[in-house]
A and B are shown apart, each in its own frame.
Chain A
């Protein structure tokens, strides 16, 4: 397990470096400097500004400084939001983004897995068809359509839940964003679980358990459940990445002060350092989550860590 962990860890580092390098040089390739949008500055002041941000140095020196800063968790200052560093903005938004992301993931598993199991055990009956049709719709309708429609129906017409905003610790403010974010994942997890269980039920050891006279419910619980969940676990890595993408929309619609909002704001304002810092941060987060999923997978299925 230790060597497996180390091998996985070593695989992540070059990927991360490559992403950082690509992001850095893409930003430097951009036409125009970061201060072009402001009123024309006297050359001395512009030179001072460039010096203050280290932009007068050769590109490679800048890159080296950036990497050195990165190691200490310093992503540089935001060019547009003058009083903040990128790391501060991430620190402010992260708790919000993480709490809705985690809640959505938990909801997806808690609802999606049982639905998928149910559909597989009633294959080709109406329950199965109903679940699969709903899942198809859930995956096809984008969250930026679901979000305002839910807000309109539950928030404005019925008045059950707040339409937007965020209060730390307030569950009522979390319901709509979390449900919106979770819907496509519930659908996907249900489909995945159904397909996986159907395949597992065909396998030799399940037939053997049946021949032995075990009750169907015991077969599922004792023999089929764990292997059924393997594909669901491996989906968690991409799911985490997709949740972060989805939360860009959800944070925007419901007015949540999360990381995604700063990212989108940065992109609209063309705040180079902020966007780049965010991408580096997202990349690190996603790679980390994928690593965790890999480790979990290796722990669940010994064949993988010995390959």
Chain B
């Protein structure tokens, strides 16, 4: 079957999966709002609306605070979409970092095999023994808390599963004739891994990456919720949920609005990821 055939089949299967399509549509809407929302709203994220009394105002069309305001009188519509953008940004960057490390590590271990493989995977096993939340917390304690460090730290510890998956694939590929041919031609191992192993595991990598993004969002929100993640003046969905939780008795919308956006985002990403997996690899479904 030609390459085009595989991707065409995948598209067709994805097109038949109604849940995945709806999820993709909602996702596009959320991304668009996170990029354009701050422009569409009437207020900047740090603008304090002193005309309100009390400062925390429930959602209202009349005063232009469509999602209400937080307890400092700042517009939640602007803050929620700006927070969504930060969450998405961290997720995409951290996923890329973990992909690069995971693919390189897994492909090398799987292709070289033997003792090198043993040590490399042993290392992964040891890191696996501890929840990687704890590693990220250590990293934030050691190096301080900044937006860049958070996604680096998440990416730097989030590559383990990727490495395992790619290693399994690389081990299977090593047995194939075209790799034998490359070896016979005298290509160095590094070139074989980069040109022949990595391109052939990309399908799996894409599927796993779409499932990694919601995990990272969750993870970043978790850290921000605890006060260890994104810091002022930036905000993220986790931070907004945390701030909302402290005010839920008097201003429940501060909790409910960011929580709903976060839950919707995660649900859609999971549906889409499942759909992509089924489309690209029907055997695993």
- Among the 9-residue stretches A68-76, A171-179, A264-272, the one with 4 or more Cβ atoms under 8 Å from chain B is A264-272
What is the minimal beta-carbon distance from B232 to any residue of chain A, in angstroms?
A: 14
Which residues from B are CB-within-8-Å of A27? 138, 141-142
Flag if A268 contacts B227 (CB, 8 Å): yes
What is the minimal beta-carbon distance from A237 to any residue of chain B, in angstroms?
A: 10
Main secondary structure of the interface of A (DSSP, over half): helix
Residue A52 is within 8 A (CB to CB) of chain B in the complex:
no
Flag if B225 contacts A140 (CB, 8 Å): no
Residue A295 is within 8 A (CB to CB) of chain B in the complex:
no
Flag if A23 contacts B138 (CB, 8 Å): yes
- Among the 9-residue stretches B9-17, B96-104, B167-175, B259-267, the one with 4 or more Cβ atoms under 8 Å from chain A is B259-267
- Among the 9-residue stretches A43-51, A82-90, A145-153, A211-219, the one with 4 or more Cβ atoms under 8 Å from chain B is A145-153
Closest to A244 in B: B131
Residue A78 is within 8 A (CB to CB) of chain B in the complex:
no
Which residues from A are CB-within-8-Å of B126? 14-15, 18-19
Residue A262 is within 8 A (CB to CB) of chain B in the complex:
no
Q: Which of B133, B214, B228, B244 contacts A148 (CB 8 A)?
A: B244
* Distance between Cα atoms of A149 and B137 in the complex (Å): 26
Which residues from B are CB-within-8-Å of A140? 214, 263, 266-267, 270
- For chain A residues 1-58, which have a beta carbon within 8 Å of chain B? 14-15, 18-19, 23, 26-27, 29-31
Residue B140 is within 8 A (CB to CB) of chain A in the complex:
yes
Question: Scoring A residues 121 to 140 as 1 if CB is less than 8 Å from chain B, else 0, what string do you get?
Answer: 00000000000000011011
* Distance between Cα atoms of A152 and B256 in the complex (Å): 10
Flag if A142 contacts B222 (CB, 8 Å): yes
What is the minimal beta-carbon distance from B132 to any residue of chain A, in angstroms?
A: 9
* Distance between Cα atoms of A287 and B126 in the complex (Å): 10
* Distance between Cα atoms of A266 and B130 in the complex (Å): 18
Residue B134 is within 8 A (CB to CB) of chain A in the complex:
yes
* Distance between Cα atoms of A302 and B98 in the complex (Å): 38
- For chain B residues 87-144, which have a beta carbon within 8 Å of chain A? 125-126, 129-131, 133-134, 137-143
Flag if A142 contacts B218 (CB, 8 Å): yes
* Distance between Cα atoms of A220 and B147 in the complex (Å): 52
* Distance between Cα atoms of A211 and B285 in the complex (Å): 30
Flag if A145 contacts B248 (CB, 8 Å): no
Residue A99 is within 8 A (CB to CB) of chain B in the complex:
no
Residue A245 is within 8 A (CB to CB) of chain B in the complex:
yes
* Distance between Cα atoms of A147 and B221 in the complex (Å): 14
Q: Which of A31, A267, A290 contacts B228 (CB 8 A)?
A: A267
Q: Which of B140, B222, B225, B244 contacts A267 (CB 8 A)?
A: B140
Residue B252 is within 8 A (CB to CB) of chain A in the complex:
yes
What is the minimal beta-carbon distance from A104 to any residue of chain B, in angstroms?
A: 16
Known pairs A140-B267, A152-B252, A290-B129; A29 contacts B142 (CB<8 A): yes
- For chain A residues 139-170, which have a beta carbon within 8 Å of chain B? 139-142, 144-145, 147-149, 151-152, 156
Q: Which of B134, B137, B245, B263 contacts A253 (CB 8 A)?
A: B245
Q: Which of B227, B255, B262 contacts A264 (CB 8 A)?
A: B227
Flag if B252 contacts A141 (CB, 8 Å): no
Q: Which of A19, A272, A287 contacts B141 (CB 8 A)?
A: A272
Flag if B138 contacts A26 (CB, 8 Å): yes
Residue B39 is within 8 A (CB to CB) of chain A in the complex:
no
Flag if B225 contacts A144 (CB, 8 Å): yes
What is the minimal beta-carbon distance from B216 to any residue of chain A, in angstroms?
A: 12
Q: Which residues of B contact A (CB under 8 A)?
A: 125-126, 129-131, 133-134, 137-143, 214, 218, 221-222, 225-228, 238, 241-242, 244-245, 248-249, 252, 255-256, 259, 262-263, 266-267, 270
Q: Shortest 4 CB-CB distances between A and B: which pairs? A: A148-B245, A30-B142, A144-B225, A145-B259
Q: List 7 A-B contacts (CB under 8 A).
A: A241-B130, A245-B133, A264-B226, A267-B141, A279-B134, A279-B138, A283-B129
User: A30-B141, A241-B130, A279-B137 provided; 6 other pairs, C-beta below 8 A?
Assistant: A15-B125, A141-B263, A142-B262, A144-B245, A263-B137, A282-B134
